[in-house]
Amino acid sequence: MISKLSIFLTFCLIYYSNCNVDWSGDIKREKWMDYSRELIEKFLNRKINGNVAKNVVFFLGDGMGVSTVTAGRIWKGQLQNRSGEEEITNMEKLDHLALSKTYNIDAQTADSAGTATAFETGVKTRIRAIGVDGNAIDCKTIEKSKLESILDWAHYAGKSVGIVTTTRITHASPAALYAHVHERDMEAYDGKKLTEQDYEDGCRDIASQLIDDNQFINVIFGGGKRKFLPNNTIDPISKRAGDRIDGRNLLEDWKTNMKKQNKKHKYLDNRQEFLNLNSNEFDHVLGLFNWDHMEYESDRVRTSSDIEPSIIEMTEKAIQILKKNPNGYLLFVEGGRIDQAHHNNNARRALDDFVVFDDAIGKSLKMVSLDNTLVVVSADHSHVFTIGGYAVRGNPIFGTVITTESGKLSKFDTDFTSLAYTNGASGLDKIRTENITNNKTEQINYQQEALIKLDYETHGGEEVAIYASGPMAYLFDGTVEQSHIAHHRALQ
């Protein structure tokens, strides 16, 4: 035992610069030759899938730029005690790839509202606008600017439709599927973001549009009860009141609407009821699991409060409910908080949410047939998040860079993390001249350093990837305007 260990240690000290991971197989050139031989064979034998999609599952990683995919992949591997760089995520298993140009018509770097409108309606619009074209500038111009979405089109085609997110269901990315506002903050009629004057001028809040105008939606899972409850009604779980000043309890209104139409329906607000729900018994399910956004995955697991299902569980349940329709379905699944953790310069929560989002994609791939189901994964925009610094293979992704090829670390000879941001609240007030101590960079609340001090870290402006498999997925190709994604409806 001891001799085996010492042989390994000697071997690893001689052959690798880092003994935590074993990449001895990578030294052999045959490995790389074989890899490409198999890949080319696979490509040569690939059959074009020219079917018309019966079902579509669209996964949106909010803020999931390519640097997040890379760092998230490494983290996913390291969670399994592998070095991480060679890990294969579920999204990268999809066959086809394109790049999406994310700018809004009036913004070089986009927000989630304008981008969601682009990939959900097929028309680019202004920053902060939801479900309306660029003509919408105030409450009076909304009516003539409304756009239909992929959700509407799927519904017209007789399909079932569902929305799953980890944010408030009224947040920008899901909202562009069903609502029309020029200003994304109009989530509830709260007298602040949507005033009485706005209401008189024709603006309707996002939550009421979901309940009043979209009664066909079969599955709605996410957070954000506060936007549906009046200010004198207490949510039984969070013990907090709603935001609404119009006295409407939209959750009760939803139940009333469903009852009137004799729809087999269920409202739920906790994981136990969610797990007990028999998908065959209900065609319309509204599940709101948090007063506000749902928890980050890191926090959900740690508290094990069991109030919230995971995004994997929500994806699975949604497909079970939707797939009963012989005409097929469209399901939108958003990993919505990758973005929000990045805004806090908190890479750990962003990447934990990335990993579970990727696992939800894996779950769906086990449940659907790619013969008749188009699976698309993309992001709305990137973040100013980077991974770099010549760390050795297998270096802990949240760790500091301990050796470099390029010699001295800096003028001050200090260490630094591989992950960093261009801007954000963790921007340094002055140049750090000491090492980062106590391994704090691997702690869950650590905020990676940023160059420019801002209140919040910002989105990034570069392209994001579109991954796709299934019917006519090969038509996702090249570098395209983000709005093009929605037009694959022509193929459904």
Ligand X SMILES: *[C@@H]1O[C@H](CO)[C@@H](O)[C@H](O)[C@H]1NC(C)=O
Q: Which residues bind Zn ion (CB under 5 A)?
A: 339
| Residues 368/57, Cβ–Cβ less than 8 Å | yes
Nearest CA to 110 among 131, 94, 124? 124
Q: Is 334 annotated as a binding residue?
A: yes
Q: How far is the CB of 236 from ligand X (least distance, A)?
A: 17
Bridge partners, 278 (sequence order): none
Single out the segment in contact with ligand X by CB under 6 A; choices: 40-48, 249-257, 265-273, 406-414.
Answer: 406-414
Q: Which residue in 365, 383, 348 sits closest to 462, CA to CA?
A: 383
423 close to 464: Cβ distance less than 8 angstroms: no
The item of Zn ion, ligand X, none sharing an interface with residue 422, based on CB under 5 to 8 Å by kind, is none
Q: Kindly identify the residues of this chain, within the stretch 78-137, that bind ligand X according to CB under 6 A.
A: 80-81
Q: Closer CB to Zn ion, residue 190 or residue 339?
A: 339
Q: What are phi and psi of 200, to 5 degrees?
A: -60, -35
The verdict on whether residue 173 carries a ligand-binding annotation is yes
- With CB under 5 to 8 Å by kind, the binding choice for 339 among Zn ion, ligand X, none is Zn ion
Pair of tokens at residue 40: 């080319």
As given in the structure block, the two tokens for residue 332 are: 């939108």
Q: What is the largest CA-CA distance in the chain?
A: 82
Helix, coil or strand: residue 141:
helix
CB of 456 to Zn ion, least distance (A): 9
Distance CA(82)–CA(79), nearest Å, equals: 7
Q: Does 17 bind ligand X (CB under 6 A)?
A: no
116/258 with CB nearer Zn ion: 116
Site for ligand X, residues 187 to 246, rule: CB under 6 A: 191, 231-232, 245
Q: In which order are the strands placed within the sheet that holds 329-335?
A: 265-268, 284-288, 219-223, 160-168, 329-335, 55-61, 373-379, 464-469, 96-101, 479-481
In the complex, the smallest distance separating the C-beta of residue 332 from ligand X, rounded to whole angstroms, is: 31
CB of 99 to Zn ion, least distance (A): 20
Q: How far apart are CA 120 and CA 138, in angstroms?
A: 21
Half-sphere CA count of 61, side-chain side, radius 13 A: 35
Q: Which candidate in 112, 208, 298, 310 is catalytic? A: 112
Task: Quote the CA–CA distance of 180 and 103 in Å, as a whole number.
Answer: 20
Adjacent-strand bridge partners of 266? 285
Of 36 and 438, CB closest to ligand X? 438
Residue 327: left if φ>0, alpha if ψ -120 to 50, beta else—which one?
Answer: alpha
Binding to ligand X (CB under 6 A): which residues in 412-441? 412-415, 434-435, 438-439
455: partner contacted, choices Zn ion, ligand X, none (Cβ within 5-8 A by kind): none
112 included as an active-site residue: yes
Nearer to ligand X, 232 or 272 (CB): 232
The answer to whether the annotation marks 488 as part of a ligand binding site is no
Radius of gyration in angstroms for the set of CA atoms belonging to the chain, rounded to a whole number: 24
**96 carries a ligand binding annotation:** no
Q: How far is the CB of 111 from Zn ion (least distance, A)?
A: 7
Among residues 298 and 378, whose Cβ is nearest to ligand X?
A: 298
Return d(Cα 67, Cα 449) in angstroms, integer. Answer: 16
The verdict on whether residue 62 carries a ligand-binding annotation is: yes
Nearer to ligand X, 134 or 362 (CB): 362
Do residues 64 and 335 make contact, with C-beta atoms less than 8 angstroms apart? yes
The smaller minimum CB distance to ligand X, of residues 80 and 278, is found at: 80
Site mask, ligand X, residues 143-182, x = CB under 6 A?
----------------------------------------
Minimum distance, C-beta of residue 478 to Zn ion, in the bound complex (Å): 26
Position of minimal CB gap to Zn ion: 339
Residues 243 and 190: beta-carbon distance below 8 Å: yes
Residue ranges for the known binding site for Mg(2+) are 62, 171, 173, 334
Residue ranges for the known binding site for Zn(2+) are 62, 339, 343, 380-381, 459
User: What residues are annotated to the active site?
Assistant: 112
What is the contact surface with ligand X in residues (CB under 6 A)? 80-81, 191, 231-232, 245, 412-415, 434-435, 438-439
Residue ranges for the known binding site are 62, 171, 173, 334, 339, 343, 380-381, 459
